[in-house]
């Protein structure tokens, strides 16, 4: 299964360009979509989820062209929007049942089994007959994930799926995604790099509607090769205004401040080179400090 985006552009009514000539190929497996807020991630997800029609360009999903063959695409789709509400006056089971029916799961037993299994997976089996309106934010998020998984969709689009989940739930979610990602495409949009690191085979970084990078995870790490530094400094130092540096993290420990930053040349004499990780690569890419790029 493959998804192809070719020169896809989306311009909204008031002229805001959400996507600008995006070309992207997505294969089976978990695909991470990283980018800051407003980068165009959700627009791209909605396009693949058939909810938004591109202004120009072509999108095909498993040889089905959008928007012409959107019904075919929707049949293989599980979708979790970034911002959503749920049908508050239905119970968890009724909501799942409704969605399952809409997805064409007509067999009563199969539908019942699927619903129970998924609600069990997301830890909601003890509130199965409670109204959704009474759920906490985290419970609603888990229910939303469960509804997306109904019908074993071959294309799963999850927009910020871990938002609102506690660490345990997030871990369980990652395991779940890894388990089901065989022979299907899971597109995971997030701004939490660790979510991508946990399970994505490939990723793309979007910024200002353009693809900044597309490839395997190591490709992102390599963006920070040679420009990643660590330093232990006095806590009184002004870390916000280190010349030529982009701060990745700063931690106070044992009376000192441990800094991790990106810079062509370290502004602090005590800085030592460090091995870049995904977060360093992402920051290097977004900040324009990508290794090898012209300064």
Nearer to another protein by Cβ, of 31 and 64: the residue is 64
Binders of another protein among 141-200, rule CB under 8 A? 144, 147
Q: Does 85 bind another protein (CB under 8 A)?
A: yes
Interface segment toward another protein; rule CB under 8 A; list 83-91, 184-192, 245-253, 256-264: 83-91
Q: Does 71 bind another protein (CB under 8 A)?
A: yes
Q: How far is the CB of 82 from another protein (least distance, A)?
A: 9
Nearer to another protein by Cβ, of 142 and 221: the residue is 142
φ and ψ of 34, to 5 deg: -110, 155
Q: How far is the CB of 144 from another protein (least distance, A)?
A: 7
Binders of another protein among 7-66, rule CB under 8 A? 46, 49-51
Q: How far is the CB of 79 from another protein (least distance, A)?
A: 4
Nearer to another protein by Cβ, of 94 and 225: the residue is 94
Q: Does 261 bind another protein (CB under 8 A)?
A: no
Q: How far is the CB of 170 from another protein (least distance, A)?
A: 21
Q: How far apart are CA 64 and CA 94, in angstroms?
A: 31
Q: Of residues 8, 22, 61, 70, which one binds another protein by CB under 8 A?
A: 70
Which parts of this chain interact with another protein (CB under 8 A)?
46, 49-51, 67, 70-71, 74-75, 77, 79, 81, 83-90, 94, 98-99, 101-104, 144, 147
């Amino acid at each position: 299964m493959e998804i192809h985006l070719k020169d896809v552009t989306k311009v909204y009514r008031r002229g805001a360009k959400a996507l600008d000539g995006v070309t992207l190929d997505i294969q089976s497996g978990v695909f991470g979509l990283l980018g800051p807020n407003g980068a165009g991630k959700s627009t791209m997800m909605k396009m693949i989820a058939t909810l938004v029609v591109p202004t120009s360009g072509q999108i095909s999903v498993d040889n089905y062209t959008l928007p012409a063959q959107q019904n075919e695409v929707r049949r293989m789709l599980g979708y979790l929007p970034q911002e959503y509400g749920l049908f508050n006056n239905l119970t968890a089971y009724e909501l799942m049942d409704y969605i399952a029916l809409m997805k064409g799961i007509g067999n009563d037993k199969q539908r019942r089994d699927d619903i129970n299994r998924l609600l069990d997976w997301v830890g909601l089996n003890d509130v199965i007959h409670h109204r959704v309106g009474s759920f906490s934010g985290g419970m609603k998020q888990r229910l939303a994930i469960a509804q997306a998984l109904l019908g074993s969709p071959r294309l799963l689009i999850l927009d910020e799926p871990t938002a609102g989940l506690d660490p345990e739930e997030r871990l369980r979610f990652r395991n779940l995604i890894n388990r089901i990602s065989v022979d299907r495409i899971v597109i995971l949009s997030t701004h939490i790099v660790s979510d991508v690191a946990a399970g994505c085979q490939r990723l793309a970084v979007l910024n200002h509607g353009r693809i900044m990078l597309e490839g395997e995870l190591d490709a992102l790490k390599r963006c920070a090769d040679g420009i990643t530094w660590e330093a232990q400094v006095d806590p009184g130092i002004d870390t916000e205004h280190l010349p030529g540096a982009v701060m990745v993290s700063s931690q106070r420990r044992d009376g000192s401040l441990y800094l991790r930053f990106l810079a062509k040349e370290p502004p602090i004499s005590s800085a030592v080179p460090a091995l870049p990780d995904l977060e360093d690569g992402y920051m290097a890419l977004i900040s324009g400090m990508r290794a090898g790029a012209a300064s």
